[in-house]
A and B are shown apart, each in its own frame.
Chain A
Amino acid sequence: MKTTTYPLSRETSMHELGDRVIAPDGYWRLGWRRRGQAYSVLLEQRAVMVGGGLMLALLAAGLAYLSLGSTLLAPSEAVLALFGRGEMMATFMVQELRLPRLTAACLTGAAFALAGILMQTLARNRLATPGIIGIDNGATAFAVASIVGMGVSIAPPAMALAGATTAAVLTFGLAAGSGTHGYRFIVAGIGVGAVFGAITQLLLARVAIDAANAAYPWTVGTLNARASGAMQLLTVGLTLGVIAALALARSLALLRFKDATASGLGIVVKVRRFQVLMLSVVLTALAVAVAGPVGMVGLIGPEIARALSSSRGVPVISSALAGALVMVLADLAGRTLLAPIEIPVGIVTAVLGGPWLLWILMRANRSSP
């Protein structure tokens, strides 16, 4: 290691003195050596704690999810059944019925919320989530087209991706005159979403009433009719998406500034923006292919994460965890509250998210420009 002389300032020397450095306040430092080279990572304590807390809450919610339902299981029974040691019936119920659905809830919730925070950062507006600016509706319209068999034999996930991309291109293209931020952008998105919503209705009106009835809960968002292929794609896509989002995290933090500032701080704004947009669109499409448009999770998850985290970075991981938590709890409520009737999870989140959205709108008026 080369030796350097450092200025006398205490702070710089602490940051850069190789192995023996102390982390700045509020951070933990993880350091390791490899081939004589020292590496270190700074972990923000609050982010770690928020992430851990959300993880614990998610585990607790998952346990409740496995135990509650038409047949009640004690938590201990549920855990035993989960590892294949319980009674036959309980094991079947947990492993075959509830666990796959729980997994789907976690994955879709995380994907929606991750897509949400990416889009919010991109548009510099906390209300610009894929659900609100019409991308969900685009994905849904195309996926429904493939489901009701309008002479298209491509799988729903691929169609959903095509739809989400179309909607994103339309929204961004049409709003170009007024920039990617501000309320005009969002309202242009609402317009695009309305068109795709109408197209979905149009498709449903053309098929037999049974098929339309069967597709109805799916169009409001439910975990009842998950396609298995879509689940596998979502698993892969979400894993890659989280990695990509982490890799983009620093750029994301900079994208919140004005374009000039961000490029002055060393990122190529256009490229980064395109990457973030595509990542958000892909995550939305995969999640929609599994669960339909449960757009409000993309709003609520990041809100929770931001409220818990400090404002220094963009809380990517916490958002995904919070989204998964919201989705699990919402689906649990939908399954149990009015049992034996099952409320689609999209309706639960919309009923929760609507007032929340109004509250944000009314509060935002006083403080922010």
Chain B
Amino acid sequence: MSFAARMDARAAFLVLLMALVAMAGTSLLIGAGEVSPSRAFAVLWGSADSEAHFVVWELRGPRTLIGIAVGVALGISGALLQAVARNPLAEPGLLGVSAGAAFAVALALVLGASAATLRIGVAQLGALVGCICVLGVVRMRGVGDDPVRLVLAGAAFSGLLGSLSALLLLYDQRAADEIRFWVVGGLAGRRLSDLVAVLPSLLVAGGVIALIARPLAALALGERVATGLGHHPAVIRWLVVLCVAVLVGAATAMAGPIAFVGLVVPFVARAIAGPDIRRTLWFCLPIGPLMILAADIVSRVVVAPSELPLGVLTALCGAPVLIAVVRAKRLPML
């Protein structure tokens, strides 16, 4: 890559980072309730307004942090899943991985579990099962077949899991309110402890991704090339699947199933950074949180004083991207 192009990519990355900081600030300032942006702004400069202080640091602050974590996790897992499925439409939310995690949590709640850490483990397990099911269908698909078919399989799978979750919701009125949250998704009412509980697994997954990014880029050149370069394609794939499950499970445990983020974020990242998976992953880091935070801010403002489910907004942004990708004359192969 030429020096100029590299500078461009760095500049774009910096711009995205600054946009993210600005977005996080906006997320602290704007929201439902009685605390106006100017009062919130005053709090940031150390004003002693106790009510505003509570709203900004106890409600909006954790929410913003969790939004950032969810955005990172979903964006990265989308890029990884697309790389390993070699399909630009592979997306955890659309393919039922998130729905698997949400269903697992709902099932655990009905069976009587309520501890937060258990919930995360269960969500990650559900995401793993969902991931394996979806990739099983990909494998069945054979080589060189229509990549779009995967989305249909995913829609069938997540429709099934969504219905089963709805069934649980009807079955157990006691847990219904809690389950409804997992079925719909959103950031309202999340606490910092939720983030702290998933942080270790996120860090482990991040470390593993840092290690396998290079072999994964080699895998994009084809299985033989990767083997020739001394990598083990099967091992890489399994590690990627595990990482995706951990990330999606953690994101779902924090915010419920949110579709289309894993589609849109890598799509934008590739548009800026080009096809190399390592650069795509780097660019997913700021773009994912940007999308989640923007959607979350809109969800707080549009129907104030009540709130929209976050998944609604991501669907409204993501579905047009899906259609655009599908309409493209030649689907970009990964």
Q: Which residues of A contact B (CB under 8 A)?
A: 127, 132, 174-175, 177-178, 182-184, 186-188, 190-192, 194-195, 197-199, 201-202, 205-206, 220, 338, 341-344, 346-347, 350-351, 354-355, 357-358, 361-362, 365-366
Contact = CB atoms under 8 A, between A and B. Distances in A.
B319 A195 contact: yes
Interface string B50-74: 0000000000000000000000000
A178 B323 CA distance: 11
Nearest to B302: A202
A221 to B, nearest CB: 10
B121 to A, nearest CB: 26
B146 interface: yes
A351 B309 contact: no
Contacts of A355: 160
Interface residues of B, number: 45
Interface stretch (B14-22, B112-120, B149-157, B199-207): B149-157
Contact of B167 (A186, A202, A343, A365): A343
A190 B316 contact: no
A358 B319 contact: no
A202 B327 contact: no
Contacts, number: 130
Contacts of B146: 182-184
A175 B315 contact: no
Given A183-B152, A194-B259, A355-B160, A205 B322 contact: no
B89 A187 contact: yes
Given A191-B322, A194-B318, A220 B156 contact: no
Contact of B312 (A198, A341, A351): A198
A354 B163 contact: yes
B149 A183 contact: yes
The listed residue with most A CB atoms (<10 A of its CB), out of B162, B167, B311, is B167
Given A192-B323, A201-B308, A184 B148 contact: yes
A362 B152 contact: no
B255 to A, nearest CB: 15
A194 B315 contact: yes
A342 B171 CA distance: 9
The listed residue with most A CB atoms (<10 A of its CB), out of B146, B170, B306, B326, is B326
Given A195-B316, A205-B309, A206-B303, A358 B323 contact: no
A205 B137 contact: no
A206 to B, nearest CB: 5
B160 A205 contact: no
B194 interface: no
Contacts of A346: 163
Contact of B140 (A184, A354, A362): A362
Interface in B156-184: 156-157, 159-160, 162-164, 166-167, 170-171, 184
B312 A354 contact: no
Contacts of B260: 194
B156 A361 contact: yes
A126 B107 CA distance: 33
B10 interface: no
A183 B152 CA distance: 8
Given A358-B137, A361-B149, A194 B163 contact: no
A177 B329 contact: yes
Given A350-B163, A354-B156, A361-B156, A178 B308 contact: no
Given A338-B171, A347-B167, A350-B163, A202 B323 contact: no
A365 B312 contact: no
B155 A132 contact: yes
The listed residue with most A CB atoms (<10 A of its CB), out of B157, B160, B162, is B160
Given A195-B315, A201-B184, A350 B327 contact: no
A358 B149 CA distance: 11
B228 interface: no
9 contacts: A174-B323, A190-B151, A190-B155, A194-B322, A201-B184, A205-B307, A206-B306, A347-B170, A354-B163
Given A205-B306, A220-B166, A361-B152, A184 B315 contact: no
B163 A177 contact: no
Given A343-B170, A350-B160, A365-B145, A188 B323 contact: yes
A187 B315 contact: no
Interface in B2-33: none
Contact of A351 (B155, B167, B303, B308): B167
A174 B324 CA distance: 9
B141 interface: yes
Contacts of A202: 303, 308, 312
